[in-house]
């Protein structure tokens, strides 16, 4: 262990502080700018006002976008959880040829840039309109990343659950299905919550696929925000962004608090 | 007990994985109230056998009968077995009382009756005051008792124990196994018990099934397997053994003079050998050099190096430890102390 009081320890401390500034700086700038009393985005903020928040909350486009995003992210979170957990159970409980390969394939969408996925999906839907445009298409597309996210969280959680637990439940008279729901599922609870939160936040914050595949009528909040940022750069954009950051923060804290119970 | 029909019967039970055999055509009948140990080194097939009885491993061949009913293809949750797992497998989100009540709820036992049976089991296992605790708030010994209670409270036709003491420290282990044996005898539980520890098997079993490489080598009372081992493996796995192979009944392969009725492999237990300083006197005595002595408290152990190169193991009174390593000594035994191992030629 390196002592934090040694000269090298001080360098480490400095690095940590710089990293935090680098990571959190943009968030700080946008949150600060949202309180500015000017008609344009300004940093450092001039004056202090909540009027951009009032304006954002009163704007029907933002409100509509928020509810579209909520529906989208909620659906994606639930479906990702169902599909991802089922896949994780299969990958950890059963031995079959090609298991490791399948696991790698399942996780691969996580390493693709969002734009690549968005373009590929646009071309795909143009050739094969398998789902109606708008939200349904967007849900299916977001599942491509949502399911791997859930899988990523649930695989290690499932690997830590003693397989003898289900056997014990069966030995005591529970059918395999009962054993799963009575014993394995409760053991997975904290993981399930974290996985769902991750999938929800991803879908809620996603821009590229939403831009390419969403319809103008059902535009998610991120798309509305993107449009507004291009048209008029007033602090409303910053206010909405600040509220998005707050939402993500609340979800992360809730999930951590739940896991540490 | 000897006249009652067996509670659990394994008939030609076998399990193969591809070309490897985990368990080879095994026959075993466990009488009501009897505790039978499946004893052997790791990989001998004892756990596979237990898991076939529980229903977690499908036999490749043979039948399992429980109280006369063929349960060979029955799913685990319909079989009437109560298993104690090596890891205990306590449900981490349920309290002690809820863990013990799990099997009763699955069986649809009415709540008041279930509560009463759980309370009785809690008292029997001295878990009072811990009912509302979660498994992670218990000591290893307490967890073990909850696992036992959970398996016993459903009154299973057969109790299956998979190395139930292996996660306890040595001191706790001996007390716990005596306690479990007392419980098993009092409640008249038919029990199949997997262990790799021969001392454990000897201490609490009515009969021991010694297994090696998937094969049942011998089935008998602890005395029988110790005094009359059927194979060389059983002789060396249960207790300590000096083995002599003689082709002519006069001398062993390594030149020790013997006086035995037939050629074959003969077993001489270390505690049957005495050691003194007088010279050797013909057959059944041999001189050598004391190599190691160890004082064991209740007695002592010595290793005598013989001219042919063999190390003869001797167990005797504590005075054995007074011998100095390097001293000359003579080992003696009587012909009746030698036991023929029938499985070897």
- B287 and B331 together in one domain: yes
**Stretch among A211-220, B183-192, B211-220, B293-302 having the lowest mean pLDDT:** A211-220
CB contact under 8 A, B93 and A187: yes
Of the three residues B177, B208, B235, the one that is the final residue of a domain is B235
Cα→Cα distances B320→B135, B239, B275, B297, Å: 48, 19, 8, 11
Give B142-160 pLDDT, tens digit per residue: 999 999 999 999 999 999 9
Give A217-230 pLDDT, tens digit per residue: 888 999 988 888 88
CA distance B272 to B314: 8
Confidence of residue B70 (pLDDT cuts 50, 70, 90): very high
CB contact under 8 A, B103 and A178: no
Give the residue-averaged pLDDT of B301-328.
Answer: 90
CA-nearest residue to B55 within chain A is A171
pTM, rounded to two decimals: 0.81
Give B232-274 pLDDT, tens digit per residue: 999 999 989 999 998 887 888 888 888 888 888 999 999 999 9
Of A164, A165, A174, Cβ closest to residue B77: A174
Alpha-helical runs (H) found in chain A: 7-34, 51-58, 60-93, 99-107, 114-127, 135-160, 164-171, 176-179, 185-205, 208-213, 221-231, 235-259
Per-residue pLDDT at A55? 85
- B230 and B301 together in one domain: no
CB contact under 8 A, B102 and A187: no
Per-residue pLDDT at B315? 93
Classify the C-alpha dihedral B145-B151-B157-B159 as positive or negative: negative
The strand pairing partners of B276, in sequence order, are: B330
* Residue B219 within any structural domain of the chain: yes
Cα→Cα distances B281→B277, B284, B305, B336, Å: 12, 8, 18, 17
CB contact under 8 A, B150 and A172: yes
- B203 and B326 together in one domain: no
CB contact under 8 A, A167 and B54: yes
**CA A77 remoteness from chain centre:** 9
Query: Between chain A and chain B, how many beta carbons pairs sit less than 8 Å apart?
Result: 65
- B51 and B101 together in one domain: yes
CB contact under 8 A, B77 and A170: yes
Using a CB–CB cut-off of 8 Å, the residues of A that contact B are 162, 164-165, 167-176, 178-179, 182-183, 186-187, 189
CB contact under 8 A, A167 and B56: yes
The whole-angstrom distance between B104's CA and the closest CA on chain A is 8
Give A130-149 pLDDT, tens digit per residue: 888 888 999 999 999 999 99
Per-residue pLDDT at A259? 74
The mean of the pLDDT values for chain A is 88
- B170 and B246 together in one domain: no
Give the residue-averaged pLDDT of A204-232.
Answer: 87
- Residue B41 and residue B212 in contact, taking contact as beta carbons nearer than 8 Å: yes
- How many percent of chain B have pLDDT more than 70? 98
Per-residue pLDDT at A102? 86
Question: What is the residue range of B325's domain?
Answer: 240-340
Give B73-108 pLDDT, tens digit per residue: 999 999 999 999 999 999 999 999 999 999 999 999
Residue B92: its chain A contacts at CB < 8 A?
165, 187
Assign residue B322 the CATH number of its domain. 2.40.50.140
Per the structure, the count of domains in chain B is 2
- B178 and B77 together in one domain: yes
- Separate counts of helices (H) and strands (E) for chain B: 8, 18
Per-residue pLDDT at B138? 95
A204 C-beta neighbours (distance < 10 Å), count: 24
CA-nearest residue to A167 within chain B is B56
* Residue B147 within any structural domain of the chain: yes
Per-residue pLDDT at B162? 95
Residue A141, judged by CB atoms within 10 A of its CB (0-12, 13-18, 19+), counts as buried
Of A172, A176, A186, Cβ closest to residue B93: A186
Ramachandran area for residue B276 (φ above 0: left; ψ -120 to 50: alpha; else beta): beta
Give A74-97 pLDDT, tens digit per residue: 999 999 999 999 999 989 888 788
Confidence of residue B1 (pLDDT cuts 50, 70, 90): very low
CB contact under 8 A, A167 and B75: no
CA-nearest residue to A186 within chain B is B93
Of the three residues B235, B250, B284, the one that is the final residue of a domain is B235
Residue A162: its chain B contacts at CB < 8 A?
87, 89
* Residue B105 within any structural domain of the chain: yes
Residue A172: its chain B contacts at CB < 8 A?
77, 82, 102-103, 106, 150-151, 154
The mean of the pLDDT values for chain B is 92
- B280 and B195 together in one domain: no
Q: Is B225 helix (H, G, I), strand (E, B) or coil?
A: helix
CB contact under 8 A, B91 and A183: yes
Residues whose CB falls within 8 Å of the CB of residue B155, separated by 6 or more in sequence, listed in order? none
Inform me whether the pLDDT recorded for B3 exceeds 70. no
The whole-angstrom distance between A180's CA and the closest CA on chain B is 12
Inform me whether the pLDDT recorded for B345 exceeds 50. no
* Residue B212 within any structural domain of the chain: yes
- B128 and B265 together in one domain: no
| ipTM, 2 dp | 0.86
Inform me whether the pLDDT recorded for A175 exceeds 60. yes
Of the three residues B213, B235, B257, the one that is the final residue of a domain is B235
Residue B83: its chain A contacts at CB < 8 A?
167-168, 171
Per-residue pLDDT at A132? 83
* Residue B173 within any structural domain of the chain: yes
Of A164, A176, A179, Cβ closest to residue B85: A164
The strand pairing partners of A33, in sequence order, are: none
* Residue B3 within any structural domain of the chain: no
CB contact under 8 A, B77 and A171: yes
* Residue B2 within any structural domain of the chain: no
Rounded to 10 deg, the angle between the A185-205 and A235-259 helix axes is 170
Assign residue B150 the CATH number of its domain. 3.40.50.300
Inform me whether the pLDDT recorded for B62 exceeds 50. yes
CA-nearest residue to A171 within chain B is B77
Confidence of residue A199 (pLDDT cuts 50, 70, 90): very high
CA-nearest residue to B148 within chain A is A168
- B182 and B78 together in one domain: yes
- B224 and B304 together in one domain: no
- B177 and B247 together in one domain: no
Inform me whether the pLDDT recorded for B344 exceeds 70. no
- B131 and B197 together in one domain: yes
Per-residue pLDDT at B167? 87
Rounded to 10 deg, the angle between the A235-259 and A51-58 helix axes is 80
Domains within chain A, CATH numbers bracketed: 53-259 (1.10.3720.10)
Give B109-124 pLDDT, tens digit per residue: 999 999 999 999 999 9
Inform me whether the pLDDT recorded for A24 exceeds 70. yes
């Amino acid at each position: 262990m390196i002592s934090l009081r040694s000269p090298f320890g001080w360098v480490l401390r400095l690095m940590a502080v710089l990293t935090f500034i680098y990571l959190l700086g943009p968030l700080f700038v946008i949150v600060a700018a949202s309180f500015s009393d000017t008609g344009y985005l300004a940093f450092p903020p001039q004056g202090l006002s909540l009027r951009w928040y009032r304006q954002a909350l009163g704007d029907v486009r933002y409100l509509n976008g928020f509810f579209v995003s909520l529906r989208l992210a909620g659906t994606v979170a639930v479906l990702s959880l169902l599909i991802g957990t089922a896949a994780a159970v299969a990958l950890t409980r059963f031995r079959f040829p090609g298991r490791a390969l399948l696991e790698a394939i399942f996780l691969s969408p996580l390493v693709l840039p969002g734009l690549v996925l968005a373009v590929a999906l646009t071309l795909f839907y143009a050739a094969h309109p398998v789902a109606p445009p708008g939200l349904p298409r967007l849900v299916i597309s977001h599942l491509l990343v949502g399911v791997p996210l859930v899988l990523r969280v649930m695989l290690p959680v499932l690997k830590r659950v003693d397989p003898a637990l289900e056997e014990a439940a069966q030995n005591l008279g529970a059918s395999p299905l009962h054993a799963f729901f009575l014993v394995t599922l409760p053991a997975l609870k904290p993981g399930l919550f974290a996985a769902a939160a991750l999938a929800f936040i991803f879908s809620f914050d996603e821009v590229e696929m939403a831009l390419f595949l969403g319809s103008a009528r059902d535009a998610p909040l991120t798309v509305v925000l993107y449009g507004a940022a291009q048209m008029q750069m007033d602090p409303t954009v910053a206010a909405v962004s600040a509220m998005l950051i707050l939402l993500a923060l609340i979800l992360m804290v809730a999930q951590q608090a739940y896991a540490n119970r | 007990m000897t006249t009652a029909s067996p509670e659990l019967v394994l008939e030609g039970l076998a399990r193969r994985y591809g070309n490897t055999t985990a368990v080879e055509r095994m026959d075993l009948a466990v009488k009501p109230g009897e505790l039978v140990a499946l004893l052997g080194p790791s990989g001998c097939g004892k756990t596979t056998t237990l898991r076939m009885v529980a229903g977690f491993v499908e036999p490749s061949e043979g039948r399992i009968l429980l109280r006369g009913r063929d349960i060979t293809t029955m799913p685990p949750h319909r079989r009437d077995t109560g298993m104690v797992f090596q890891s205990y497998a306590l449900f981490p989100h349920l309290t002690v009382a809820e863990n013990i009540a799990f099997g009763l709820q699955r069986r649809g036992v009415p709540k008041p009756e279930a509560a009463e049976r759980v309370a009785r089991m809690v008292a029997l296992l001295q878990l009072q005051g811990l009912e509302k605790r979660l498994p992670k708030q218990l000591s290893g010994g307490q967890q073990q008792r909850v696992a036992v209670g959970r398996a016993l409270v459903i009154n299973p036709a057969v109790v299956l124990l998979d190395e139930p003491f292996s996660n306890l420290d040595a001191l706790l282990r001996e007390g716990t196994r005596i306690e479990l044996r007392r419980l098993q005898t009092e409640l008249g539980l038919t029990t199949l018990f997997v262990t790799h520890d021969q001392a454990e098997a000897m201490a609490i079993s009515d009969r021991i099934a010694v297994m090696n490489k998937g094969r049942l080598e011998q089935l008998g009372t602890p005395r029988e397997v110790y005094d009359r081992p059927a194979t060389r493996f059983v002789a060396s796995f249960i207790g300590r053994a000096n083995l002599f192979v003689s082709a002519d009944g006069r001398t062993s392969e390594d030149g020790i003079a013997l006086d035995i009725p037939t050629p074959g492999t003969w077993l001489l237990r270390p505690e049957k050998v005495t050691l003194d300083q007088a010279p050797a006197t013909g057959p059944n005595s041999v001189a050598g050099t004391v190599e190691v002595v160890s004082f064991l408290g209740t007695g002592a152990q010595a290793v005598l190096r013989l001219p042919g190169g063999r190390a003869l193991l001797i167990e005797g009174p504590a005075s054995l430890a007074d011998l100095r390593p390097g001293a000359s000594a003579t080992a003696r035994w009587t012909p009746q102390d030698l036991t023929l191992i029938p499985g070897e030629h």
